[in-house]
Structure 1
Amino acid sequence: MTVFNAKEINKVPFESNIIPKGNRNRPAYSMNPRYITIHTTANQNAGTDARAHARYVNNGGGSAGVSWHFTVDDNRIVQHLPLNENGWHAGDGNGAGNRSSIGIEICENRDGNFEKALTHAAGLVKFLMAHLGLKIGNVVSHQHWSGKNCPRPIFNRPGGFEGFKRMIE
């Protein structure tokens, strides 16, 4: 089981809040991660930070039963699934997005600092790439798997998704 036992990752406070075994959104299918998929939460409500999203996935991930590996905000990184288990985040069913990709959600809450959350997410991706031996070409957007316009706020930034990848490097 690959759950990090750390107080911080790249100087960002880290918490482990793993979805309970048996939850329908924790499929527990074995996974050898080959990609890192970047999402944004599309939830701009005040208070919808990484801990709020941890509560959401721990309570079943809504009607769709979604799950992902990490949520990042301007204050912390929270892990929800072991790296060797898949999540339901890519929108491609049993395709490579869900079955071979680590899902990272970046918070968009209006009472948070999105730029700081992006910086924290870039640091997490860099850490994971080193930990897993992945290259920058294996960092993809949610859109890569399903065509969904996600991560929209990153696409809409100067430099777009390639600009985010430059932040990682």
Structure 2
Amino acid sequence: MVPTTITLHNTGNPLSPAANERGWLTNPANPRQASFHIVVDEREAIECIPLSENAWHAGDGSGSKSGNRTSIGVEICESGNYAKTLDNAVKLVAGMLKDRGWGVDRLRRHWDWSKKICPRLMYDDGKWTGWIDFKNRVNAELKGADNVKLDSEKVNVIVNGKKIKDGKLENGVTYVPLRAVGDALGATIGFDNKTKTATLDMKV
């Protein structure tokens, strides 16, 4: 395979870390022919199949332009600390894009190939806010926007008594991920890529 895109998935198993997902591929009791190239969790990323070989992850057959024939499949585990797993996935994918001279336009969802609701934890009832956020984070990583400045300080952030993801203090201003605040408030987060507008809507 000569890959042209990277396709993201969720494993669909909230109990299984990366090592178990890797083991599932070669388990004699596994009757499925599905496969993937890389699996990532809160601790590690494991390459299971060489990136120059096809994997059967896109659900769109074996045509020459199918995801199965042209895309690197990356499974994001749902077990453990999912926020940390997403952090790792962002860094992994950004590194893969950078190595190839690609941008986030090369990222695909399983959904893009066969309309399966996957990555399911990014679906958000069809709004795909998690997917938009993931792509934005990867893009920021590519551009170095997430690099902490030397004069910044880590800030503990508490919303309604709940500790959320650390913020950072720069020049007297505290910066906090909007999604972390929204999740703590039970709000819906949205992002319009065309207008570069972020929204936070509280549930009534």
* Bin for the TM-score computed over the shorter chain: 0.7 to 0.9
Residues 1:107 and 2:93 are matched in the alignment: no
The code of the aligned residue for 2:94 comes to K
CA drift of 1:118 comes to 0.8
User: Conserved in 2, the CA contact under 8 Å of 1:60 and 1:66?
Assistant: no
Is contact 1:34-1:134 (8 Å) kept?
no
Asked if residue 58 in structure 1 is aligned to residue 34 in structure 2, the reply is no
Correspondence for 1:73? 41
Letter in 2 for 1:41: T
1:143 equivalent in structure 2? 111
Structure of higher CA gyration radius: 2
Task: Give the superposition deviation at 1:50.
Answer: 0.2
Question: Does residue 118 of structure 1 match 2:86?
Answer: yes
Measured at CA, do residues 149 and 60 of structure 1 come closer, stay the same or move farther in structure 2, by a change above 3 Å?
farther
String of CA shifts for 1:140-160, please: whole Å, max 9, x gaps: 100000100001111229832
Per the alignment, in what secondary structure is the counterpart of residue 78 of structure 1?
Answer: strand
Normalized against structure 2, the TM-score is what? 0.63
Q: TM-score, normalised by structure 1?
A: 0.75
| Corresponding residue number in structure 1 for 2:10 | 40
Aligned-partner SS, 1:84 = coil
Percent of residue pairs bearing the same amino acid type: 39
Of the three residues 123, 132, 141, the one matched with 2:100 is 132
Structure 2 residue identity aligned to 1:120: N
2:58 is aligned with 1:97:
no
> In the alignment, which residue of structure 2 is the partner of 1:4?
none
Higher RCO (CA < 8 A, seq sep 6+): 1
CA distance in 2, matches of 1:160, 1:52: 25
Unaligned runs of 5+ in 2: 140-204
Q: Could you say if the C-alpha distance between residues 166 and 118 of structure 1 is closer, same or farther in structure 2, counting changes exceeding 3 Å?
A: same
Q: Secondary structure at the match of 2:9?
A: strand
User: How many residue pairs get matched?
Assistant: 135
RMSD, aligned CA: 1.7
**Whole-Å Cα distance in 1 between the matches of residues 22 and 84 of structure 2?**
19
Q: Which runs of 4+ in 1 moved over 3 A?
A: none
> Deviations 1:116-136 (Å, cap 9, x if unpaired)?
111111111111111222221
Asked if residue 161 in structure 1 is aligned to residue 131 in structure 2, the reply is yes
2:12 aligned partner, one-letter code:
A
Distance 1:155 1:61, change over 3 A: farther
Unpaired segments ≥5 residues, structure 1: 1-30
Letter paired with 1:50: A
